[in-house]
Amino acid sequence: DSPRIFVTRRIAAQALKQLEGRVQMEVWEGSGPPPRAELEARLPHLDGLLSLLTDPLNAEMIALAGPNFRVLSQMAVGTDNIDLAAASARRIPVGHTPGVLTEACADFAMALLLAAARRVVEGDREVRAGIWRPWGPDILVGKDLYGGTLGIVGFGRIGQAVARRAQGFGMRLLVHDLNPDTHLEKCFGIQFVSLPELLRQSDFVSIHVYLSPQTRGMFNAETLGQMKPGAVLVNTARGPIVEPQALQAALESGRLAAAALDVFDPEPIPADSPLLAMPNVIITPHIASAAGQVRLNMAQIAVENLLLGLAGQPLRFCANAAALGPA
């Protein structure tokens, strides 16, 4: 009997093709994530699951997986929707897709940074509203990237890719990382500093850490209050790293000039969020990795991880490899 798997959304056909004839596959055809009850009903009978970050795979859910369940393959780099400890305790490897989305996410962080700094969305909105104010010395004046200081919080793959781009824009770079590798300072032209120092000096701050107990709420009333007055905050990482109320207060008080967010807590953003009415806030619906080739590569790696896991082999990219130890 070939293994039974469930794919929680229709992903690239080219990737799904790899599974044909090798597994008994069901694909959730909805435009959004499958309802919780759907996952609950299926998990006891599955050998593997191909998940997205919209699937709440907490400890309770993982406990429902049947005795043959042997791989959880997520099509994302982040796995914060998955209780990794619960998966590890059951010896279930969790696959993810790092690397292939690095450059696209860095591009998007720069797109948000540029758009917020130079008021691209505001300008577009004015023109569409029929307001084209004649060229004027003080119309929609934003912040200078050139010569400005960018603070990068988290210096993994994506943070480093942002640094390379920002060099090209003539920015000075400060970096905060929990495990700074000082060898990188010369090669990226950066300087590692503490978080308070970074916040105090940076005209722009871009977040590139994983969501973890250490980073949840990292940007709160206290830390936002340490930011340079008039700074711009960009978040393409995970919503809960920034406390929404504290962010709102920092924007209202003028402490922050603008914020650009690809992620929010919760997602989708509540329709009554005051941030939606603020002209200096840009919000996009978690699309930093949404580039054609990247999404195909992510799907293919997710399928590869799934097949490796079903065969009992080490995954190409495993988020809980350390916890599982040597095979």
Q: Concatenated DSSP letters for 240-267?
A: GGB-HHHHHHHHHTTSEEEEEES--SSS
Which ranges of the chain does DSSP label H, i.e. alpha helix? 13-17, 36-42, 59-63, 84-89, 102-117, 120-128, 157-168, 183-188, 195-201, 221-225, 244-252, 292-310, 321-324
Nearer Cβ to ligand GLV (202/289): 289
Assigned token pair, 125: 């909105």
> What's the rounded Cα separation, in Å, for the pair 159 and 163?
6
Residue in 183, 252, 185, 184 with CA at minimum distance from that of residue 224:
252
Helices and strands per DSSP (H, E), number in the chain:
13, 12
Identify the bridge partners of residue 260 per DSSP, sorted by sequence position.
234, 282
User: Which positions touch ligand GLV (CB under 6 A)?
Assistant: 53, 76-78, 101, 289
Q: Residue 75 Cβ, how far from ligand GLV at the closest point, in Å?
A: 8
Q: Residue 200 Cβ, how far from ligand GLV at the closest point, in Å?
A: 29
Q: Residue 62 Cβ, how far from ligand GLV at the closest point, in Å?
A: 19
Q: Residue 6 Cβ, how far from ligand GLV at the closest point, in Å?
A: 20
Q: Residue 54 Cβ, how far from ligand GLV at the closest point, in Å?
A: 10
Nearer Cβ to ligand GLV (76/162): 76
Residues 6+ apart with CB under 8 A from 59: 83, 85, 86
| Residue 267 bears catalytic tag | yes
Q: Residue 74 Cβ, how far from ligand GLV at the closest point, in Å?
A: 8
> What's the rounded Cα separation, in Å, for the pair 14 and 267?
29
Yes or no: say if 18 and 296 are a contact pair by the CB < 8 Å rule. Answer: no
**Among residues 4, 96, 238, 316, which one is catalytic?**
238
Nearer Cβ to ligand GLV (250/261): 261
> What's the rounded Cα separation, in Å, for the pair 298 and 113?
25
**Among residues 286, 295, 304, 316, which one is catalytic?**
286
Yes or no: say if 118 and 144 are a contact pair by the CB < 8 Å rule. Answer: no
Nearer Cβ to ligand GLV (268/312): 268
Assigned token pair, 197: 């120092």
| Chain centroid, CA 169 distance in Å | 23
Residues forming the active site? 238, 267, 286
